[in-house]
């Protein structure tokens, strides 16, 4: 899902390379993580009444800010969900065996560009689960 970025804010997120200036029209994926993480924090509860209460709060927030869920892509009241190559349930977060198998069958990169692209994608994907490691890396690199 890519969220549109308000016209007034597009220039704020523009960046320049040696070739051109890029101006995003949508919120970058890495930033979406910080927008949605607080929205769904503490939704999982031990009893149904508290869960429904928290879920109602989230829906109210989404309505307030004009966010919509797709009925075709949304499921509620699941004991286990697959998300970005992981399975999340009452036991915690673990890798989805089907995702691991797909990675094993993936052809090896044939150029350095393909390898760099794969590394960047995997790093960004893994960072969703290791915010602390990312913060330590930023501090170490002086960011």
d(C-alpha 86, C-alpha 128), whole Å: 11
The domain spans of the chain are 78-130
Q: What is the pLDDT of residues 15-59, one digit of tens each?
A: 787 888 888 887 766 665 665 666 566 666 778 898 888 888 888
d(C-alpha 88, C-alpha 107), whole Å: 27
Question: Who contacts 122 (Cβ-Cβ below 8 Å, separation ≥6)?
Answer: none
Is 13's pLDDT higher than 80? no
Cα distances (angstroms) measured from residue 64 to each of 24, 61, 69, 71 = 25, 5, 13, 19
More confident residue, 87 or 28: 87
d(C-alpha 17, C-alpha 131), whole Å: 27
| 0.85 surpassed by pTM | no
Question: Who contacts 124 (Cβ-Cβ below 8 Å, separation ≥6)?
Answer: 29, 30
pLDDT of residue 143: 59
Q: Are 26 and 13 in contact (CB under 8 A)?
A: no
Question: Who contacts 54 (Cβ-Cβ below 8 Å, separation ≥6)?
Answer: 42, 43, 45
Task: Compute the average pLDDT of residues 116-132.
Answer: 67
Q: In whole numbers, what is the pLDDT of the chain averaged over residues?
A: 77
- DSSP 8-state symbol, 81: E
Q: Are 44 and 51 in contact (CB under 8 A)?
A: yes
- DSSP 8-state symbol, 21: E
d(C-alpha 40, C-alpha 134), whole Å: 21
Choose among 80, 78, 35: nearest CA to 58: 35
pLDDT of residue 97: 92
- pLDDT confidence bin for 94, thresholds 50/70/90: confident
């Amino acid at each position: 899902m890519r969220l549109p970025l308000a016209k007034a804010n597009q220039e704020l997120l523009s960046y320049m390379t040696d070739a051109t200036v890029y101006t995003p029209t949508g919120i970058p994926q890495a930033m979406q993580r910080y927008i949605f993480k607080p929205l769904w924090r503490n939704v999982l509860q031990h009893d149904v009444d508290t869960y429904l209460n928290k879920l109602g709060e989230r829906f109210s927030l989404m309505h307030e800010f004009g966010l919509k869920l797709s009925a075709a892509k949304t499921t509620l009241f699941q004991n286990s969900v697959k998300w970005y190559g992981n399975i999340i349930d009452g036991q915690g977060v673990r890798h989805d065996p089907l995702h691991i198998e797909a990675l094993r069958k993936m052809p090896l990169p044939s150029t350095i560009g393909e390898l760099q692209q794969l590394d960047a994608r995997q790093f960004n994907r893994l960072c969703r689960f290791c915010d602390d490691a990312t913060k330590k890396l930023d501090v170490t690199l002086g960011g």
